[in-house]
Amino acid sequence: MNTLPFPLREADGLGRRSMTAMQGDPRGADLRLRGVRRSFGDRAVLRGIDLDIPAGQFLAIVGRSGCGKSTLLRLLAGLDAPDRGEIAIDGSTAPQRGVVRIMFQEPRLLPWNTVARNVAVGLGDRAGAREVAAALGSVGLSDRANDWPSVLSGGQKQRAALARALVSRPRVLALDEPLGALDALTRIEMQTLLERAWAEQGFTAVLVTHDVAEAVILADRILVLEDGFIVEDVMVDLARPRAHGQPKAALIEGRVLQRLLGAAAGQRFARMDG
C-alpha cells in the first residue's frame, strides 16, 4: 500500500475505483437503515430514516445545524443507539467491533502519547509497529512519529487522526465534519488524502459536512437532511479526481444548496455561478 506520491491529482486509479465502487467492493461494508428514529427528550432529531448505502460508496450527508446529521453518524458508528428502527452492517444488526471507525471534527489525540502511540490506539490491544508506520507514511507523517501532538499543526493533527482511524483498515469510515476547522488550503490537501485513502482501501465512507462544495468534490452521493428526514438524494456522477469549480459540479452544488436554503436563494446562486 501507500506507494502513491503525496500531492496526487493525476492518479487515474481514482476514476476506475469509483466505477467498481458501484458494483460493491469486498473491502467496504454495506449499511442498511430501516425506520431509524432518535429523540432527545421531547425533541425528535431523526424521524424515520430509511437508507441503503452500498459497500464502498462515498456518501455525504449535508444539512443545516441541528438537522440530525451528526446524530445519524453517531448511530452508524455505534456511539449511540436508535430509539426505534434498525441499523444493519453487512446484513447484521449485532454490534461489530472495529468495523466502523469514526473521525471527529477535533483530532482528539491523546496529548500524553506520541503520534505513533496515538495511531496505535486504532489497533486496540494489538501491537503493530509495521501497520502504524505504514499508516503514518500514508498520511505523510512518518517523520513526526515520535513527536507530541501539541507540536503538530491543526492539519497534521487531523492527518494523525486519519491514520489512527485507518490503521485497522475499517470497512466503514464515519467522518463528522473532520475538515471543518481547517484552513482552506489544508482542507484541499486533506480532501485529496481522504479520497486517495478511500480509493486504496475501498471502505464505505459516510461524511457529514456543512460544506456542499466539499460534498460534491468527494462524494458519490449526497443526502440532504432536514428536520430529521432525508429530503433529497443526489447522485454525483462525475469522474475523479474532481476539480473545484468544475461546471458540472457547480450545477449539482447549486441543486443541493437550493434544497438547503429554500428555492429563491438557490436560484440566485445558480444564476450567479452558471
Partner 1 sequence: MTMHRRAMVPWVLPAALLAVWQAGCMLGLIRSDVLPAPTDVAVAGWRLALSGELLRNVEVSAWRAAVGFVIGGGIGFVLGLLNGLSPGSERVLDSTLQMVRNIPHLALIPLVILWFGIGEQAKLFLVALGVFFPIYVNTQHGVRSVDPHLIEMAHAYGMTRATMIRRVILPAALPSIFVGLRYGLGITWLTLIVAETISATSGIGYMAMNAREFLLTDVVVFAILVYAALGKLADSAVRLLERLCLSWNPVYRDV
Does position 121 interact with partner 1 (CB under 8 A)? The reply is yes
| Residue in 79, 81, 127, 235 binding partner 1, rule: CB under 8 A | 79
Q: Please check whether residue 107 is in contact with residue 155, taking contact to mean a CB–CB distance below 8 angstroms.
A: no
Q: Please check whether residue 204 is in contact with residue 30, taking contact to mean a CB–CB distance below 8 angstroms.
A: yes
Cα 14 from Cα 107, distance rounded (Å): 26
| Residue in 125, 184, 247, 274 binding partner 1, rule: CB under 8 A | 125
Does position 5 interact with partner 1 (CB under 8 A)? The reply is no
Cα 258 from Cα 274, distance rounded (Å): 14
Does position 106 interact with partner 1 (CB under 8 A)? The reply is yes
Does position 127 interact with partner 1 (CB under 8 A)? The reply is no
Nearer to partner 1, 102 or 257 (CB): 102
User: Taking the CB of residue 218, how many other CB atoms lie within 10 A of it?
Assistant: 26
Does position 104 interact with partner 1 (CB under 8 A)? The reply is yes
End-to-end CA gap in the chain: 40
| Residue in 110, 127, 231, 265 binding partner 1, rule: CB under 8 A | 110
| Residue in 17, 69, 101, 144 binding partner 1, rule: CB under 8 A | 101
Does position 76 interact with partner 1 (CB under 8 A)? The reply is no
| Residue in 7, 35, 86, 112 binding partner 1, rule: CB under 8 A | 112
Cα 1 from Cα 196, distance rounded (Å): 11
For residue 5, CA distances in Å to 8, 77, 156, 249 come to 6, 31, 17, 26
Residue (of 51, 35, 48) closest to 223 by Cα position: 51
Site for partner 1 in 136-155 (CB under 8 A): 148-150
Nearer to partner 1, 115 or 212 (CB): 115
Cα 26 from Cα 12, distance rounded (Å): 21
Site for partner 1 in 155-214 (CB under 8 A): 164
Pull the grid cell for residue 180: 471543518
Cα 216 from Cα 270, distance rounded (Å): 15
Stretch that binds partner 1, among 22-30, 111-119, 134-142, 212-220 (CB under 8 A): 111-119
Q: Under the rule (CB under 8 A), what is the footprint of partner 1?
A: 77-79, 97-98, 101-102, 104, 106, 108, 110-113, 121-122, 124-125, 148-150, 164
